[in-house]
Amino acid sequence: MSTAPPIDGEAPLRLRRSQPMSPYAKARLANWGLRLLPWLTIVAVWYAIRGFGLVSPGLLPLPQDIAATAWARLLDGELPRHILASTGRVLAGVAIGTAIAIPVGFALGRYATARLTLDPLINFFRALPPIALVPLVIVYLGIGEAAKVFVLSFSAFFAAVIVLYEGIAQMPPIYGHVARTLGANQSEIFRKLVLPYALPHILTALRVALGVTWATLVAAELVAAQAGLGAMIQMAASFFQLDVIYVGIIMIGLTALSMDHALRRLSRRLLSWQERVPS
């Protein structure tokens, strides 16, 4: 029949279209705005510096010039090659450094004897800037890939080990008491208590190690690198290609940012039990 009333779902559907934005959507939009704000500010300040002539144009390329350089290098395959080389080295450095830091951090966090013997040693080496090691690394490891990965692993190890050590040392003794009174032996205490307790600290250690390793990258690629963002920056420096230097810096930042973002997502999934959900 043509006079049939409209079915129930129709009216609200039509209504919803004209409704104002939901508070949730508004909050999301506001969050994105807040996230973008500092970047937009940086770009605005950049243009302002050029606009007011505070720096001679030859010393500060415009953002669109940098973008054009990045685009060109992306298309000719140069930029991806450098990004891949650096990312590979950083990942290798973080993997090796953290893999060694986990057992050492556990030992330091759990055993007073290990603390007594190793603590001064670790703090001695931790204070050394990786760039100071570069000449020695060249002498002993040559100028190959091993030298670069060594410098990166060095930074990753010392960053990760402190986070792990402090985290594990803070495990409340009550967990151990409970487990022992339920009949747990040493290996069970390690597998069922220390390991799950340490997981958030391992993930934090990975994040810190990633950051520090990216920060060390340029120093590591001082060692006769043919590829890598650090190498790209140094080559550009010798030819005074400021736009390429800016591209390199921005790419290091962006790659580090996306890796950190991925790790944070992983943490949130693995650590839903935590009181404070890592943001």
Partner 1 sequence: MTVPSSLVFDGVSVAYDTPDGPITALGNVSLTINKGEFVAVVGPSGCGKTTLLKLAAGLLQPTTGRVTLDGQPIGAPGPERGVIFQEYGIFPWLTVEQNIGFGLELSANRVSEAERAEIVERYLDLMGLRDFRKAFPKALSGGMKQRVALARAYAVRPRVLLMDEPFGALDAQTRLAMQDLLLQVLEREGTTGLLITHAVEEALYLASRVVVISARPGRIKAVIDVPFPFPRTHHHLANEEFARLKGELTELVMEEYAAQSRLSLASQS
Which parts of this chain interact with partner 1 (CB under 8 A)? Answer: 172, 174-175, 177-185, 188, 192-193, 196-197, 199, 272-275
Q: How far is the CB of 29 from partner 1 (least distance, A)?
A: 30
Q: What's the CA gap between 18 and 20, in Å, rounded?
A: 7
Let me know the angle formed at the C-alpha of 129 by 127 and 130, rounded to the nearest 5 degrees: 125
Amino acid in the structure at residue 11: A
We find the least distance from the C-beta atom of residue 164 to partner 1, in angstroms, to be 17
Do the beta carbons of residue 165 and residue 109 sit within 8 Å? Answer: yes
Query: What tokens appear for 154 in the block?
Result: 């060095």
Distance in Å, CB of 24 to partner 1, minimum: 23
- Shortest distance in whole angstroms from residue 82 CB to partner 1: 41
Give the Cα separation of 50 and 232 in Å (integer): 25
Whether 197 contacts 134, CB under 8 Å: no
C-alpha to C-alpha distance for 111 and 169, rounded to whole angstroms: 9
Provide the 3-class DSSP secondary structure of residue 269.
helix
Q: Cβ(159)–Cβ(205) under 8 Å? A: yes
Contact 168, 110 (CB under 8 A): yes
Q: How far is the CB of 6 from partner 1 (least distance, A)?
A: 42
Nearest to partner 1 of 8, 275 (CB atom): 275
As given in the structure block, the two tokens for residue 190 are 């390690």
- The smaller minimum CB distance to partner 1, of residues 46 and 190, is found at 190
With respect to partner 1, which residue has the nearer C-beta, 53 or 172?
172
Closest approach of partner 1 to the CB of residue 209, in Å = 23
Closer CB to partner 1, residue 63 or residue 176? 176
Residue number, 46 or 197, with CB nearest to partner 1: 197
- Minimum CB distance to partner 1 smaller for 65 or for 188: 188
